[in-house]
Each structure stands twice: as structure tokens, then as C-alpha cells.
Amino acid sequence: MNDSHIISAEVHCGIALYGDFTVGSRFSDIYDSSLELFEALGIRPDVAGGNPDGKTIDGYRRFKLLDGMFRKSVFAGMTHFEMVTRSEQFKKVRHGEFYSETLAACYSQAEWGNYYIVYGKINVFDNRLDTLLAHVKSVIRLLKPDYGFYFERPFNHGPMFYGMGMRFNNNCTFDDDNMEKWHSLMMGHAYTLLRSVYPLNFLTSIQLSIRFNTTSLEEWIRADVSRGTLSPFTDTITLWTVPEDRIRPVRDKLWETGVILDRKRHFDEPFLQYSMSESQIAEHYRTGQPINPNPSRHGLSEQELLDRIAGPNQEILKVVSPGVVENVTPSKRPKRGKK
């Protein structure tokens, strides 16, 4: 097996945090906290990226150079940074090509979404999970995120992209196929749906109060020890720990009840029924406001909406409730361009 095959199969693990971050002058604290994690693990970043003075630098540069630029600008105008330690085999690979990171921390408070992701090769954290959790706790106290989780992912499935809510390639897993709309929820700061069930889930009152089958998610978890345990993590975060062998059954149950994001249920059906944009759908889930069923609200006449959702045999289909589709084909459908 050559190096590329070995590296592509390497498992990375990390923690992703999301929310409507309002860091302000504490941007430097997030940066310094990330650097402290590298130092605690005995690793130094060798490249970095970011936008000192609000000007994005194309690609990665030597860490020492960018670190100096960041500090000279006093982090003014910055909305994102990345610090990365690359695998030895890929020290000379340019940014834009894929390489396996030993350890990386990425922070964004930009238009493409708010996130903090720290991840690395799983062996970096052997017997050091407490170090990672201590770091995450300090970041949570600074950022006050709305949601987060611990994940594991092979390098060739794009661990960084997974955390960013972006599809990396066609090596689909359960999460990839059904979570590709996660980025839309990130953009809308809508965290009233779970992305999935993970070994460690960082929940706020937003998720704990999700209701289904006359109960809340918190009540449902506490009702049965096989569903994992809840414990305080910070003043705003409750840690939901789920044993590895219980993740699948717990996830399947919450998937059935609509607590976990499902592309078809939570995005495709609102689009088909109401022609809602992805940002409108995210806003609906963020605020909990009912959907206005009047298609003219979205700039479409009833006939235009019907034309838009024609079925495969030219019948007109309307989603009347999750999983229920009604054939509403008119007996005489007017031809286009004729009155």
C-alpha cells in the first residue's frame, strides 16, 4: 500500500461548534486558545490562513509570517483564521491541493457561516481527550455556541468539509446524503434540528427543548439510560454522551420522529409545497413561525407552482403532509402561452 492510500484511510477526529457568534474584541482570545491547544499537544502549526485587516490572503502562508501579520493588525477586521500542522509527507504541497493534516483549527465568523472546528489525526488525541475537551470548554465560554458535536471521519471523506457542512466527494455516508442542507441551517443560525447523533453532543436549551411525541428531547433522553447521559459542561452547554453501541438505535428513533435533519423531509417538501427558498426554510426552523401556505407570498401563482412540481408522468403532485403526496392534476390543464 502506498503513502497516498495509507493517508486517505487515516481517521481524523474533531469537534465542531456552531452559533451566532458575537466575539468582537475577543477574536484574539479564540486564536490564542487554539494556539495553546497545539502547544499542549506538543505540536506547532506550520501554515496559517486568514484575513488580517479584513483582507483575505489567498491560500496558506508560513505560520510565523501570518502570525506576525495577525498580531501587527491587532486582529482588526478579521472574520476567520486557520492554523494547520501538515503531515511530514506533505510539507511542500501547495494550498488548494489535498493533504492530510496532523492538527488543524479553523474559525469563521463570515458570510459563509459561523463555525469553530478543531480536528486532527485520531492518534494525536490518544489518551489526550481531556486536553481536547478542556480546550473546547474554554472556546465555548468565549463563543457561546448554540450547538456542537464530536465526530470521526476518514481523511478521504473530508473531515474539515464535514465540519463546515459541505459535501466533499461522492463517498456518501448516511450523514452526507441527508445532511447536505446543514450548511443552509448554519447560514440561518437555525439549530432546532440535530445534525445526527454522535458520541459527544454539545447541546443548549435550543435542542433540549425540541418537542416530539408530547415530550422534549431532554425528557426523552433522561427517561432511558440506554439513550445516553446528560451532564453539565458549561453554564450554557449540556454534554450528551452516547455509548458507541447505542448511537445507531438512538439515531434511528430520532430520525423517524423528525428531530434529525432530513434533506427530503425538512427541505424538499417545504420547497415542493410552498416554493420556499433555502434561506426561508432555515428562517422557519430558527424562529418556529408557521409557514404561510399562500404560494403568491413567494412570487408564484397557483398555476406556476403546480407547473413547477409536475410529477414524472406530468401529473401534478402536492405534498399535503410529510410523506403524503396528493395528485391535484386539473382535468383540463391550460397550455403554456395560451389563454
Is 35's pLDDT higher than 60? yes
Chain segment 177-230, per-residue pLDDT in tens? 666 688 889 888 899 999 999 999 999 999 999 999 999 999 999 999 999 999
Nearest of 256, 244, 276 to residue 322 by alpha carbon: 256
Rounded Cα distance between 270 and 65, Å, is: 48
| pLDDT above 70 coverage of the chain, percent | 74
The whole-number pLDDT of residue 210 equals 96
Choose between 180 and 330: higher pLDDT.
180
Q: Decide: pTM greater than 0.75.
A: yes
The whole-number pLDDT of residue 283 equals 87
DSSP, residue by residue, 115-177: EEEEEEEGGGGTT-HHHHHHHHHHHHHHH--SEEEEEEEEGGG-HHHHHHT---SS---HHHH
Nearest of 178, 238, 252 to residue 209 by alpha carbon: 238
The whole-number pLDDT of residue 7 equals 44
Chain segment 73-87, per-residue pLDDT in tens? 999 889 999 999 987
Say how many Å lie between the first and final Cα of the chain, rounded: 68
The whole-number pLDDT of residue 160 equals 86
Length in residues, the chain: 339
